[in-house]
Chains A and B, each alone.
Chain A
């Protein structure tokens, strides 16, 4: 399995490396998009203390959203072509490909986050901690992998679901408490937020409490196991029924 993951990661990187527009996006467009909200919104509505936390929660969220959007695009390409059967035949499933592809995509977008961090710290004079950023993003990667496994399973199960998933990113942003700590969230949303690994990572960034990272890690592990079990079940269903949703 490790060899399969590394192979998928290698060739995922090659596809990104060859796409010049991708590097323009990762190294220029995305950092600008990550920095501008801070300049335009953060300064106006957040206090200095909140501003520092928002700097990192915003970077972490942009990282998550970017990886998810990129993976959704590729998932659509794979599930609507003969690549799906190719990958299933080669690996006996899709877990290796999901981990390899999404993992490599995460690494690529970490480069974007690093550029953003550099821009904010060196270019604009904001106090930044690369270590804190790496911890946040590092903990988010397993959660992203779990989410993408769920999404791929949904796609195999119901087909044509990717646009719906795309729009749920807005919900995830709210539940992840990107722009405010958990205490600011309406009570009705807190139970769902508590189950969101990214929320606990952001809580650490908002409050500095180390135990929240342990909760995030635990939730990530649970999410990974459950998500890949779900995806495995959906792959088995696809192979048994020969269709995604109602189409073959």
Chain B
């Protein structure tokens, strides 16, 4: 079976700055993989390199379903890659159906199949009832679903989503999630860049944490949690006690903490402290909860 994405010695520089440097990476077909990481980590750059929109500075191997990613042959490629960025990819004056049809024609979908493929793409995204509405009249969530339909009409084997639910309310986001899950069920390989941990835990088979252009962590959502343990403790304290508290925790073997500030003071989250008695013995008033991917994100981002 083909490998969906295969990367070896991939590098992208912008001037003197290396924004992406990946030694090796493979993504298997039919899976949903999330690229997560802080802003500027290189997630979008990686998506644009895989899609062929941008050219790498260096790439020993960069293939999609064993076909080299090369802009000059992209049009003639039989392995279509769909890219969904945001609703600005839609032409507002055109209807949803026309937007999808536009892409079908650009990607040389045979005339005999075009109408059916457009219909199927709209149906897959649950937007058939809005097919004849102009794109600019749709809500943000519906626009994004229309955008996904636009990408699906070419029957891509790989679908790249760059923050697919950015700016969407929870209901709209849920509708997009349902669409993505349906795509996985249909055997399409999905790669999604996201900051939303709910998307990562609910949708993804695999998570790649990218920071400073490198893959820092790679595993299932559950495996990613191993970076923070099973439980975390959160202590609220005034700003002037922060350094003292951290020093006390460090003396008791609690090396990793995350600090957040709000109008009430400081929230200190202790990450590698499975035993609450340590904090009790220090007299802290704390809250204990199960670790989640947001904690893993903060640790891996080096916050």
List residues of A whose CB falls within 8 A of some B CB: 3-4, 7, 10-11, 14-15, 18-19, 81-83, 85-86, 88-92, 236, 239-243, 248
From A3, A10, A88, A240, B108 is in contact (CB under 8 Å) with A3
What are 7 A-B contacts defined by CB distance under 8 Å? A83-B91, A85-B85, A89-B74, A92-B72, A236-B55, A241-B15, A242-B12
- Interface mask (B12-25 → A, CB under 8 Å = 1, otherwise 0): 10110000000000
| Residues of B with C-beta under 8 A to A82 | 85-86, 88-89
Task: Give which listed residue, A89, A241, A242, contacts B83 with CB less than 8 A.
Answer: A89
**B residues within 8 A CB of A248?**
14
| Neighbouring B residues of A3 by C-beta, 8 Å | 105, 108
Q: Which residues of B have CB within 8 Å of A85? A: 48, 51, 53, 83, 85
Q: Which residues of A contact B15 (CB under 8 A)?
A: 241
**Is A15 a contact of B94 with CB atoms below 8 Å?**
yes
B102 at the A interface (CB under 8 A): yes
Count A/B pairs, Cβ under 8 Å.
73
Distance A239 CA – B57 CA, assembled complex (angstroms): 10
Q: Is the CB of B89 within 8 A of A91?
A: no
**Whole-angstrom distance from the CB of B72 to the nearest CB of chain A?**
6
Cross-chain contact B98 with A11 (CB below 8 angstroms) = yes
The answer to whether A88 and B53 touch (CB under 8 A), given A241-B14, A242-B14, A242-B45, is yes
Q: With A7-B105, A81-B89, A89-B53 as known contacts, state yes or no: A243 contacts B14, CB within 8 Å.
A: yes
CA distance A240 to B89 in the complex (A): 21
Q: Decide: A83 near B53, CB < 8 A? Known: A15-B93, A92-B71.
A: no
Which residues of the partner chain B approach A15 to less than 8 Å between Cβ atoms?
A: 91, 93-94
Contact partner of A81 among B53, B88, B103, B134, CB < 8 A? B88
Question: What residues of chain A lie closer than 8 Å to B290, measured between beta carbons?
Answer: none
Does B52 reach chain A (CB closer than 8 Å)? yes
Please indicate the chain A residues that have their CB under 8 angstroms from the CB of B86 in the complex. Answer: 82
> Distance in Å from the Cβ of A244 to the closest Cβ of chain B?
12
Residue contact B94 to A18, C-beta cutoff 8 Å: yes
Name which residue of chain B comes closest to A88, CB basis.
B53
